[in-house]
């Protein structure tokens, strides 16, 4: 399937992330895989990603992670910059998987959403 190059921000331990990767591969798409827990995004990259996703930093946070509670990230007074800094420091806080192609990006929840960027 010819199309845009796809990048998948992937956590191989996450079932949804593995499902998203399988969906892409079933369609003949071999994405560039970024294991973002091993290669964390810096704050500038996260800001660009949020713009591509059309999301706020708070929307990209995994609220069920222990680090979310430990860092007090539920505090509504925290700025986007503070939330982005927390995600850069602890990438487990970033919702996953995320597929990127060209200027578009989408969180693969449910996994089928990754097909929206191809």
Tell me phi and psi for residue 97, to 5 degrees: -75, 165
Question: CA 23 to CA 58: how far, in whole Å?
Answer: 27
State yes or no: is 14 an active-site residue. yes
**Bridge partners, 33 (sequence order):** 8
Considering only CA atoms, which of 36, 50, 47 is closest in space to residue 92? 36
Q: Which of 3, 9, 12, 14 is the catalytic position? A: 14
The residues assigned a catalytic role are 14
């Amino acid at each position: 399937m010819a199309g845009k190059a796809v990048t998948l921000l992937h956590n191989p331990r996450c079932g949804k992330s593995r499902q998203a990767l399988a969906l892409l591969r079933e369609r003949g798409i071999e994405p560039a895989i970024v294991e973002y827990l091993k290669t964390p995004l810096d704050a500038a990259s996260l800001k660009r990603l949020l713009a591509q996703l059309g999301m706020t930093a708070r929307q990209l946070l995994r609220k069920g992670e222990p680090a979310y509670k430990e860092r007090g990230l539920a505090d509504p007074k925290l700025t986007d910059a503070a939330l982005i800094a927390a995600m850069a420091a602890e990438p487990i806080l970033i919702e996953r998987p995320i597929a990127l192609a060209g200027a578009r990006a989408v969180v693969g929840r449910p996994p089928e959403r990754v097909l929206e960027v191809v």
